[in-house]
């Protein structure tokens, strides 16, 4: 399997920390040459230095919500590597929502990073996609279910799920396009300065899988979706949430009780 990935070119947005960093490490360790972009200069440079064959990878410090930055990044990727085999559109963030006063500009900032950037980066690289190319968009189960005050993030994640199947049809014959929707993923182990909590008790057992997720759960699926074994899979979204989105709970189920404070 490792021979398949050797020297293939993989792009990761938001690659310095969290799930993005795990994607960078997993694809680099599989043998890929990785180009990644992130606003965190310190974390990105540190990650680049500890990757295998660091001179064969490329880190760009920049904001994918900027058209100029995306254009420059894509240009550098083409100049350095010539073609692209895998694109991991991972970067996104939240500016809250209607309850916390998320403004017009703040809402659009999230959409620029979470939806526009994946579209435009793919657009810029469309003529440089290698045979058998695969694009994996990191969405979220929040595209399908919500907590209060999450409109900016939920809208971006809903948008990238729709973008996934649209691109899969438009790029048919050039690239397969799929999305992964993580649920609760504990990313602290992929942030150098954060202590790693140990989620036990109800936090873990509420999941049908019996545990909280880790970034490897996402990265290993992404690796599979880019493999030859997945060449019949395109236009799909796959939830990776320990089964939480399939767990139906009503008042009185599993010891859960609806209270007036939850309603009001």
Q: Annotated catalytic sites, by residue?
A: 153
Contacts of 60 (CB under 8 A, 6+ apart): 35, 36, 37, 69, 72, 73, 76
- Distance (Å, rounded) from C-alpha 140 to C-alpha 232? 23
List the one residue out of 52, 116, 128 whose CA is nearest residue 84: 128
- Distance (Å, rounded) from C-alpha 166 to C-alpha 169? 5
- Distance (Å, rounded) from C-alpha 139 to C-alpha 18? 14
Using DSSP, state whether 180 is helix, strand or coil.
strand
List beta partners, residue 135. Answer: 87, 177
- Distance (Å, rounded) from C-alpha 245 to C-alpha 156? 19
């Amino acid at each position: 399997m490792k021979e398949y990935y050797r020297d293939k070119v993989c792009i990761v947005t938001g690659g310095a920390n969290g799930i993005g960093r795990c994607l960078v490490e997993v694809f680099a360790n599989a043998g890929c040459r990785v180009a990644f972009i992130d606003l965190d200069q310190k974390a990105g440079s540190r990650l680049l230095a500890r990757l295998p064959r660091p001179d064969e990878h490329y880190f760009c410090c920049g904001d994918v919500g900027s058209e100029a930055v995306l254009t420059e990044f894509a240009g550098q990727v083409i100049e350095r590597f010539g073609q692209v085999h895998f694109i991991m559109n991972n970067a996104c963030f939240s500016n809250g929502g209607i309850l916390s006063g998320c403004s017009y500009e703040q809402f659009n900032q999230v959409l620029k990073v979470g939806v526009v950037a994946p579209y435009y980066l793919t657009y810029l690289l469309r003529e440089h996609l290698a045979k058998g190319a695969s694009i994996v968009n990191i969405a979220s189960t929040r595209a399908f279910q919500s907590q209060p005050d999450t409109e900016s993030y939920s809208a971006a994640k809903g948008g990238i799920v729709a973008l996934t199947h649209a691109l899969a049809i438009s790029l048919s014959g050039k690239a397969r396009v799929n999305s992964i929707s993580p649920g609760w993923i504990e990313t602290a182990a992929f942030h150098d300065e954060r202590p790693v909590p140990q989620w036990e008790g109800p936090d873990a057992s509420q999941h049908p899988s019996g545990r909280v997720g880790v970034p490897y759960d996402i990265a290993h699926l992404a690796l599979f979706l880019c493999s030859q074994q997945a060449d019949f899979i395109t236009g799909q979204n796959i939830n990776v949430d320990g089964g939480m989105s399939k767990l139906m709970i009503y008042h009185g189920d599993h010891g859960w009780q609806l209270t007036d404070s939850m309603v009001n």
